Structure 1
Amino acid sequence: MRRIKIKSISIAMLSIALCLGSCSKDILEEEPRGVFTPDFFTTELGVQGGLTYLYQNLRNIYGFAYFMSTSETGTDEYAPAQSANNNFYDLDFAGQGNLSSESGFIISRPWDAAFPAVNTASGIIENAEAVGLDNSLIGEARFFRAFYYFLLVQTYGGVPLDLGSGELAFNQSTIKTSVRNTVPEVYTKAIFPDLRAAVNDVPDGQRLTGAVTKNVARLFLAKAYLTYAWWLENPNGIPTYPDTPRTDPDGNNASYYYQQAYDMAVAGINNPGPYSLQEYFYDVHVATNDRHNEMMMYADRTEESQIYNEADLGWSGTDNTANTAVWMVTSNYTTISVDGVAAVQREAAQSYGRPWTRMAPTINVFTETFAEKDLDSRYDGTFVTSYRGNWDKGGDTTPTLTAANGMEIAPGDAVVSFLDDYNPAVDYSVNGGNIGGGQIPGRSDYVINLNEINRRFYPGLWKLGTYRTDNAGGLGSPNGALTRPFPIAKFSELYLVAAEAAVKGASGSYTARDLVNVLRARAGRWRFDNGEQQERMEDNSAAMIAATPAVIDIDYILAERSREFFGEGYRWYDLVRTQKWNELAGSYEIAGDAATDHAPTVTNRDIQPHHYLRPIPLGQIDAMEASEADKAAYQNPGYQ
């Protein structure tokens, strides 16, 4: 019997609503409970509560600070910053850390969060008929079981389908043995059947704000087909585990699954249901527009209740369900002192927030991925490109400060800016040492060239930044966990999944160039300049389309994915799926830890084939009742 150790037969549940703070109706109401027990699943209330838990559990992964590290550090998007520790060095493969089964929650969180959800989904599915659950709700449970298995198989390779009571059966007892299924078994026995059922049974529209719909299921089925096709093709000979032939049990080849991915994604585009693209990329991420109709799936939070937010609204840690991911990529802008005044203070606003300085974007992000900054609005709609004075909100009534070139700045003016275009005239010798910025004639703000950033001071990630409505004209509560939803899936991804499948040989109504250009045209439309903090009504769509290569390849698809989804937890999975990780992220360039260091150096990473799977967490292996040889065999090769 294939079994897996489960920490508890009860599943913790903190009574959470699907629509939090964003609407006055369509909220899932339930009685707060401390735990779920197996008997509870035999009641209609229990099954409904189990479904609510499946949504709530998303918070244990999405927005969790160290899942952000797991999915971004070590890629071509992010490297360790000045205040990094082994939670980041272990994932960078540059010699300062050592990724292993003992690396803690950076490798254990997907495992620990997914399996209780898988078992809960199985409990719902098994008891649904007895309690008269509608097929559409069963479809939601099947979606989540597939969703979590898809995350697991991408992260660790083959994982157990039997948690102790049989394959895909609800387990009601504590089991301390386990056997891993192969990757093809996980896809063909669990992920594909569950997602196909969800596509068939879940409605087009949302039963509640944020609930799974048919098109959400289509997107993840298309992504699963695409990922499995790459796995079957295995262009660079990356090893899998448990070891198994790269063959499909149903006799289909990679080309078949690329076509399935294309067809499913195009079906989602042509049958959007309640979803559509926002007119401007800026509107996808401006916090005042959260929970819009491009956002298909998210891990929700709320400002209205600390209980339902599941994280402190005033001073939060980074553990459990708190949304604190963006803190990791925020440099310590609070050291900016001008004229003896702390000019830029910690504020609960989208460009600021709590600075941890753990992860820094690499220079290639700005010189290659976001090389086009004038036509393409996605650079401006992704990063904090200017830090502006807010000393007045902290209670300092000084009307102006003397800044660069002896010029005066007032609250709201730029204090430090990152230059879109390289300027060799920047003089870094006159900044006084505490800012790291230089001067150029005629500007009152200190400036930094993007190809001279360091691990200490760099553009923050505006798109995921803090947002509160209770600042009352002051700095607010920047140390509280974020109350914004963390994005998991967007309607825009359907275009890039279909385009990637087309690059790999799938055919249909749209070419890869057609699909990419829908998003590139949108990226050319501006309504607001975030860096300059002013309206900018400008349409560069035609120029963006004209600049698209005639022939699209996988590198271009990956670059477009980075421009659309930078910093949102996609990148490691994208590079692993396409087996481009070492090629695109094997080295990176950035300056050192000092704010005044503007002399970049190249760092080389030692990314080995076995790193394409994360290690099985030590806690799982230690808890198993098995021989030392069996425990060793359970671990992915190359790890201790």
Structure 2
Amino acid sequence: MKKIKFLIAIATMFVAISCNDYLDTENIYGKSLETYYKTPTDIEEAMAGVYNALYTPNVFSNETIAANLMSDMMLGGGGPDDKGAKWVDNFEDPLEDTYRDLWVQSYNGIARTNAIIEKTVDADFSSYFSSEEEAQQFKDQAIGEALFMRAFYYFRLAKFFGGVPLIVAIDDPKDVPRASYSETFAQIASDLKLAIETLPDVPFPSIPTTAYGHANKWVAEAYMGRVYLFYTGYMTNMNNTPTNDLPLADGGSVGASEAAGYLEDIINNSGYALASDFRNLWPYSYVNIAAGAPVLPWAANEGLSWVGQDGANPTFGTGNYETMFAQRFSFGDWGWNNGNIYTNRMSLFSAIRGNSLVPFGEGWGWMPVNPKLWANWDDNDPRKVGSIIQVGQPEQGTDNYSLPGNQEQGTGLFNKKYTALQYPDENGAVKGMFVQLYNWGNADMQLMHAQDFIFMRYADVLLMYSEITGDATGLNAVRARAGLDPVAYSLEALKEERLHEFAFEGLRWFDLVRWGDVDSAFNYTINVNNSGTPATYKVNYRPETKGLVPIPETEIRLSNGAYEQNPGW
């Protein structure tokens, strides 16, 4: 956790000296493009600034929250005044800049990666290391990591907005028009390919804990698989231009065999592996150990034990070999600039509304779980109860739940993977689990969620490999972990497995889009509770949007006509 706080502090400093400030002349910190990127410390600070761009002040620009709201697994929810959640959930956008922070922060990250990529090439770090080999490995890691993060940010933009302006050098003009969808993905794929070729070939168990949270070669290979599936799926099913190839900027392409080869390299050589129990990936599996009492009887009865979130040798937990890439979270403070963005707001906003229970704490009740997901999920699959909180269940600690008078679109089902966790301290005061584990002074229920958000798990590598190759081996490895019988490969079996394995992890919406299932995914009406009154819920997805959100109106105006709005908006 000290590392997370340090990363945030360094990132804050870097933001103060980056972008427009240091592009001009020497600033008050004495750092500029001419004097910076000369030492390993410079690179580490600059890379902290790159990762800082993951955090967005506006909650609707949090890609995880936006993607979950738009998916068919979760409703809008919240209270009567939480109109924004319902607008996103219902594919409405009466405001101008709902997703602007996603746009701005992504380009902030891209600008910082451009500087690292260009300026690190000529830097000489040999005097800071005991050998030329170590110095070169440091340089390769820095450049490769920056290439990956540039691809990550462009992929984040493209998933939501489609084709976007490509700015891939410090001196590139900032007023270029939007690139085409294929041009954007060609840049993403090219950056990933070069990142894979540049990053050191170090197995995950040999990567030190101090480097946890940083991208590596295996993460870049996994994202090549994800980008390949998303692009080819979107072009085939949403754009009506079938393809099996992901273009590269130089005119080449990545085909199915190459994409599968990257994933196979991870499977054979990376050292990543599935956790023995799916439920041990989530911190509710640690709450009894942390509390020193069975505050979650179900977890005690199941013998659950968290693998932790700091890699193979975590501060708490048994060792996590499955999480490959995650957004690191710490705590927040209202005295900081945007001080609430460094705590995991997915855990806050999707937690149970109006009830402070043990071990599940209070949140805003956004994103209640669709009861269709619960009803159609096999009870023999342990991931069902491992992913969803049912209210009114003593073994889940929710028997004292009472329906609040201001919960809308209530279903009595909540996200268990990312939620508020708490238990009584030695004085009987109920405080957040992470606050107590790390002895953090501010116990505010809005700022206590230090759970990392997982972007990529090894389970996804296995399922992507099955989807690309049609080989059921990876699919059945994930099923076997859940105690389920093997099945023959089919796309429908693969779709169901992804639905259950990755519920609430921000992937479902993009799966629906790339499979072309989004047009029919919302053909239902369900019963809900609106502030104590029975009601019905139905989503009005509009196919003309093609699974994209609107370009922020402020950006369109600033472009002086260079940007066109996405269809349907």
**What TM-score comes out, normalization by structure 2 length?**
0.76
1:276 aligned onto 2:273: yes
- Structure 2 residue aligned with 1:127, among 103, 119, 133? 119
Q: Which has the larger radius of gyration?
A: 1
Give the superposition deviation at 1:606: 3.5
Classify 1:316/1:416 alpha carbon distance in 2 versus 1 (closer, same or farther; 3 Å). farther
Residue identity opposite 1:377 in structure 2:
P
What SS does structure 2 have at the residue aligned with 1:587? coil
Q: How does 1:60-139 map to 2 (within 5 A)?
A: 60=56, 66-81=62-77, 83=79, 85-93=82-90, 98-99=92-93, 102-105=95-98, 107-132=99-124, 134-139=139-144
What does residue 466 of structure 1 align with? Answer: 420
Q: Secondary structure at the match of 2:368?
A: strand
What residue is the counterpart of 1:48 in the other structure? Answer: 44
Question: Secondary structure in 1 aligned to 2:164?
Answer: coil
Q: Are the equivalent residues in 2 in contact too, given 1:72–1:78 (CA < 8 A)?
A: yes
Residue 479 (structure 1) aligned with residue 446 (structure 2): yes
Query: Whole-Å Cα distance in 1 between the matches of residues 369 and 49 of structure 2?
Result: 34
Partners in 1 of 2:148 and 2:448 — Cα distance? 28
SS state at 1:592 partner: strand
Contact 1:314-1:480 at 8 Å conserved across structures: no
1:498 match? 465
Would the aligned equivalents of 2:279 and 2:383 in 1 still touch at CA under 8 Å? yes
Q: Does residue 295 in structure 1 map to residue 323 in structure 2?
A: yes
The alpha-carbon distance between structure 1 residues 170 and 83, as it changes in their structure 2 partners (threshold 3 A), is same
Q: Distance in 2 between matches of 1:329 and 1:218?
A: 31
Cα shift at 1:314: 11
Q: Distance in 1 between matches of 2:324 and 2:556?
A: 36
Structure 1 residue 127: deviation in Å?
A: 0.3
Aligned counterpart in structure 1 of residue 148 of structure 2, from 143, 152, 165: 143
Residue 121 (structure 1) shift: 0.3
Q: Contact between 1:277 and 1:294, CA under 8 Å: does it hold in 2?
A: yes
Question: What residue is the counterpart of 2:345 in the other structure?
Answer: 324
Aligned mates of 2:524, 2:96 — CA distance in 1 = 23
* Corresponding letter in the other structure for 2:323: M
> For 2:108 and 2:453, how far apart are their aligned partners in 1?
21
- Are 1:590 and 2:536 an aligned pair? no
What is the aligned partner in structure 2 of residue 569 from structure 1?
506
Q: Distance in 2 between matches of 1:113 and 1:31?
A: 14
Name 2:128's counterpart in structure 1.
none
Q: CA deviation at 1:215?
A: 0.9
- Counterpart residue identity of residue 128, structure 1: T
8 Å contact kept, 1:212–1:297? yes
Secondary structure in structure 2 of the residue aligned to 1:545: coil
Q: Is the 8 A contact 2:54 2:327 kept in 1?
A: yes
- For 2:422 and 2:142, the matched residues in 1 are separated by 33
Once the two structures are superposed, residues 247-267 of structure 1 have per-residue CA deviations (whole angstroms, 9 ceiling, x without a partner) of 9577778xx633333222222
For residues 465 and 332 of structure 1, what CA distance do their matches in structure 2 show? 11
Alignment of 1:260-271 (within 5 A): 260-271=258-269
Identify the match of residue 518 of structure 2 among 555, 567, 581.
581
Q: Match for residue 608 of structure 1? A: 543
- Which amino acid is the alignment partner of residue 363 of structure 1? P
- Structure 2 vs 1, CA of residues 606 and 137 (structure 1 numbering), >3 Å: closer, same or farther? closer
Alpha-carbon shift at residue 29 of structure 1 (Å): 8.0
1:148 CA drift (Å): 0.8
**Residue deviations 1:427-472, cap 9 Å, x none?**
xxxxxxx549xxxxxxxxxxxxxxxx98235222121123469944
SS in 2 for 1:415: coil
Inter-partner Cα distance in structure 2 for 1:591 and 1:613: 27
Counterpart position of 1:428: none
What residue number does 1:365 align with? 373
Determine the C-alpha separation between the residues in 1 that align with 2:387 and 2:246.
40
User: Unaligned stretches of 5+ in structure 2?
Assistant: 24-31, 126-138, 287-305, 310-319, 432-442
Indicate the residue corresponding to 1:382 in structure 2. 387
Does residue 169 of structure 1 match 2:178? no
**Partner amino acid, structure 2, of 1:521:** A
Q: How much has 1:299 moved relative to structure 2? A: 1.3
CA distance in 2, matches of 1:582, 1:501: 23
Match of 2:226 in 1: 223
Question: What is the identity percentage for the equivalent residue pairs of Structure 1 and Structure 2?
Answer: 20
Task: Give the one of 35, 38, 45 matched to 2:17.
Answer: 35
Q: How does 1:157-236 map to 2 (within 5 A)?
A: 157-162=162-167, 168-171=168-171, 177-188=175-186, 190-203=187-200, 204=202, 205=204, 206=207, 208-232=211-235, 234-236=236-238
Contact kept, 8 Å, 1:17 with 1:28, in 2: the verdict is no
Distance verdict in 2 for CA 1:622–1:236, change over 3 Å: closer
1:316-356 residue CA offsets vs partner (Å, 9 max, x unmatched): 9895443211232233252xxxxxxxxxx356x4x22x321
For residue 235 of structure 1, what is the amino acid of its counterpart?
N
Task: Map 1:512-527 onto structure 2 (within 5 A).
Answer: 513-524=472-483
Contact 2:463 2:498 in 1 (8 A): yes
Across the aligned residues of Structure 1 and Structure 2, the Cα RMSD in angstroms comes to 3.7
- Equivalence for 1:545: 485
Partner of 1:415: 399
